[in-house]
Structure 1
Amino acid sequence: MRQPQQDRSRATRQRLLESAIEALAELGWQGSTVAVVAERAGVSRGAAQHHFPTREDLFAAAVEYVGEARRTWTREHSADLPTGPERTRAVVDMIVRIYTGPLFRAALHLWVAATSDEQLRTSIVELEARIGREQHKLALELLGVDESTPGVRETVQATLDMARGLGLANLLTDDSKRRAGIIDRWAEVLDATLNAGART
């Protein structure tokens, strides 16, 4: 039986978004044209522009797709997190892995491009702010803490900011050995801070 038109359209859109992320991670903004993305997705440029009329539309949707992929990945792996004293270390490691993988690399190329592209920047700033709020909320859930407790919100945000910095450090060289020690130490600091907050 022939695939229904709506399903084919959804599948094409999905392939375009996945190809856009792959192209960004491998080629950067300059090399990720609509034509390149369409070729990688196995569709015509016209078909790509039917779904995303402009390059900015395509990559703004790609940012949203990255955010959704981050959430899905985190949700899928959160079931494997240990309970007890090892949980904080595992949560920090999971957050860092979000920012050291190809999804973050692709998002970073968009951030850089957005610094000199007003239309793209408008889309990126809004989407990243929403994704950041969602990541923060998810981190609170995984750690099992309440951000109304003094110091918790700032400490969890510091964890996300640190993970982003480690992602940047990992762009040019494999930083995994040094990163492991930092994750160990930060998990100790985070545990101490969260436990102190719980006692107050």
Structure 2
Amino acid sequence: MEAAVSCLAEHGWAGSTVAVVAERAGVSRGAAQHHFPTREDLFTAAVEYVAEERSTALRDLFHAGPAARPAVVEALVDLYTGTLFRAALQLWVAASNEEQLRPRVTELEARVGRETHRIAVELLGADESEPGVRETVQGLLDMARGLGLANVLTDDTARRARVVAQWSRIIDTTLA
């Protein structure tokens, strides 16, 4: 699964085949195709698996429940600036042009998005019954995705740090 995500992030959809992933993973192409009959099966399963692993890791960072909000904001932004986001982005682009892939990626993105939102609410100690809180948390995740997108083309570290600090203040004010 990690090999598939790495290949997708590095080579994009066009350059990532079952054979390329099998070679990187150190297995035969036949073995890979036994478990994942199609390329779409392999890459959607890989992105889903790694997303679940990242969700678990995020929760483990703050296993005591709600944490210091600036640390949570930074950790959430980090989800969107790594290899998983690059791989997911490649999958999204491919799905925009490939009819058979689109429904699978749309469903996967919706499920991962809901789970990420739940984790953010939990870690921030947010009360979504308060007006504007749900939208603020979703805005944080949308902002994080945008920062991840900007980071794909250039190293956006300095600007990202300032934006993350500002969003931490916004979250603190809104959730106070």
TM-score normalized by the length of structure 2? 0.95
Q: Distance in 1 between matches of 2:108 and 2:50?
A: 10
Residue 66 of structure 1, CA deviation: 2.5
Q: Is residue 142 of structure 2 the alignment partner of residue 142 of structure 1?
A: no
Residues 80 and 23 of structure 1: is their aligned pair in 2 closer, same or farther, counting only changes over 3 Å? farther
Q: Distance in 2 between matches of 1:120 and 1:69?
A: 22
Question: What is the RMSD computed on CA atoms of the aligned residues?
Answer: 1.5
The 8 Å contact of residues 47 and 84 in structure 2, kept in 1 or not, is answered as no
Residue 82 of structure 1, CA deviation: 8.8
Residues 116 and 154 of structure 1: is their aligned pair in 2 closer, same or farther, counting only changes over 3 Å? same
Q: Is residue 38 of structure 2 the alignment partner of residue 57 of structure 1?
A: no
Amino acid at match of 1:94: A
2:110 corresponds to which of 125, 129, 135 = 129
Q: Is residue 160 of structure 2 the alignment partner of residue 176 of structure 1?
A: no
2:143 corresponds to which of 139, 143, 162 = 162
Within 5 A, what are the aligned runs for 1:1-200? 17-79=1-63, 83=67, 87-195=68-176
Residue 121 of structure 1, CA deviation: 0.9
Identical residues among aligned pairs (%): 66
Unaligned runs of 5+ in 2: none
Question: 3-state SS of the aligned residue for 2:101?
Answer: helix
The 8 Å contact of residues 74 and 164 in structure 2, kept in 1 or not, is answered as yes
Amino acid at match of 1:55: R
Question: 3-state SS of the aligned residue for 2:115?
Answer: helix
Unaligned runs of 5+ in 1: 1-16, 196-200
Q: What are the superposed Cα offsets for residues 49-75 of structure 1, whole Å, 9 maximum, x if unpaired?
A: 100011111111112112212212202
Amino acid at match of 1:54: T
The 8 Å contact of residues 63 and 124 in structure 1, kept in 2 or not, is answered as no
Q: What are the superposed Cα offsets for residues 93-143 of structure 1, whole Å, 9 maximum, x if unpaired?
A: 010001011111111110111100111111110011011000001000001
Count of residue pairs brought into register by the alignment: 176
The 8 Å contact of residues 66 and 125 in structure 2, kept in 1 or not, is answered as no
Q: Distance in 2 between matches of 1:132 and 1:77?
A: 19
TM-score normalized by the length of structure 1? 0.84
